[in-house]
Each structure stands twice: as C-alpha cells, then as structure tokens.
Amino acid sequence: MPSPLQAKSFLSRLLMRCFTIRRRRKMMAKHEINAVPVYETALQQENLQALSGDVQVDELRHYGFIVLRVRPETAGVVEAMQQLGIELPKALQWTGSLDTCLVKWISPDEFLVTLPLAEKDAFMQQAKTALQGIFSAVVDNSGAYALLKFSGRQYQDLLAKLCLYDLRHELPVGKVVSSLLGKTGAIFYRLDDTSLLCMVRWSFAAYAWRALVTASQRLEST
C-alpha cells in the first residue's frame, strides 16, 4: 500500500499531466482553426523544364475530375445528361470541351468528367440531383489524377519509348485510350493535332515524370 504522501505525489503528477494534455489540445485546435488549406498538384514541386529534346510538358492544374458510373441505356439517363448539358460518348471516344465539361469513355458503365475546378462542386450536386432514382454513382476524383499536356516536335517520339500503344498513328482527335506510361496506367486523348493529353494517377505521377525525364535523354538531337 502506498503511503498518503506517495498517493498525493502520484495524484499531483497525474493532474499536471492532464493539464498539460488539455493545454496542448487547445493549442492544436487553435492552430487548426487558423490554418489555411494549401492546394498543391501532383507535380507542383517538379521542374517541368527538365526534359531533354524538343518536348514541352505542362501540368494543367485547375481542373476537377468526376467519375460517373451509369449505363447509358438505362431509362432516364439521356434526359439526366440533357439536364447536365453533356452527352455520354460512345466507346473509346470523348465529347465536350475542357473549357466547360469534357466527358471521356472509360468502360461501358464508367465515364470520367474533366471540368474547371471552380465548377466541380456545382456539377457534383447537379449530377446527383439529375440522376436521383437511377442506378448510378457520382464520385469526386479530383485528388486522384495529374493531367499532363504534351507538345513539341519530339513529344510523340518520347511517348513511344514509354507507351506500347501506337499513339502517333492510332490516336486521332476524338479518341481516348487507356494504356501504360512506363509501368503505370494512363489515359491518353487529343484535343487537336499538335498536342496530346495524358492522365496519370496522383500516387504514380512522380514516377511517371522521372520515367519521362530519363527517356527524354535518349531522344535523338535532330
């Protein structure tokens, strides 16, 4: 049995520890309230000028990405898409515009929407309302991807070193394909004949960038 003095000493230490923990929690709460969220994209810290050769890569940073899971033939889907002002594309195609809303076919019941980040939340709410009662899902995937734009005289030569799919000859404007960039999955499509857009998973974006830098060092300087 501890003596009264030992018990009193133990109780004092316990109370002091509880007081210290409460004070730290208050300080943390105050810090969290005053914290300002920082928006940072997958390649924010990378030097996008590090590629060799005549290749330009830009990370398009102000876009949101929303996954629509729905079967186009389901009753009411056409009317729901009309309410949203979009059209679901056919297999391996895209519809719309990056300025407003670009919809890409990913699978028979999955479509990936790219739109200005500032309009994402409103679109999410509108889509959920329009699809209410229809077997579907609307998921915000804005933190899941990096969107890269390739241009320059040698960008197709660079991508050919990392992608098995023939992007030069088999990816016309209007088509979208899912393939590999090095060892990571990627989605490729064109909006015009002079450039190409590529979406890679956020968690693999740094790897993809290092693979591009390494591959660019093997480009012929012609």
Q: Which pLDDT score, from 0 to 100, does residue 182 have?
A: 96
Domain-embedded: residue 50: no
Domain-embedded: residue 182: yes
Tally of structural domains, the chain: 1
* Domain containing residue 117: CATH number: 3.30.1360.120
Structure tokens at 139: 């998921």
Give this prediction's pTM. 0.80
Domain-embedded: residue 22: no
Tell me how crowded residue 15 is: count the other CB atoms within 10 A of its CB: 10
Q: What is the mean pLDDT of residues 96-113?
A: 97
Domain-embedded: residue 102: yes
State the average pLDDT for the chain: 88
Q: What angle do CA 206, 208, 212 make, to 5 degrees?
A: 115
Domain-embedded: residue 48: no
Domain-embedded: residue 11: no
DSSP 51: -
Domain-embedded: residue 6: no
Contacts of 83 (CB under 8 A, 6+ apart): 126, 130
pLDDT 10s digits, 9-64: 545 655 555 555 566 666 665 555 566 666 677 788 888 888 999 999 999 999 99
Domain-embedded: residue 72: yes
Say if residue 176 is exposed, middle or buried (CB neighbours under 10 Å; 0-12, 13-18, 19+).
buried
Nearest CA-CA partner of 106 in 187, 199, 171: 187
Domain that residue 62 falls in: 56-216
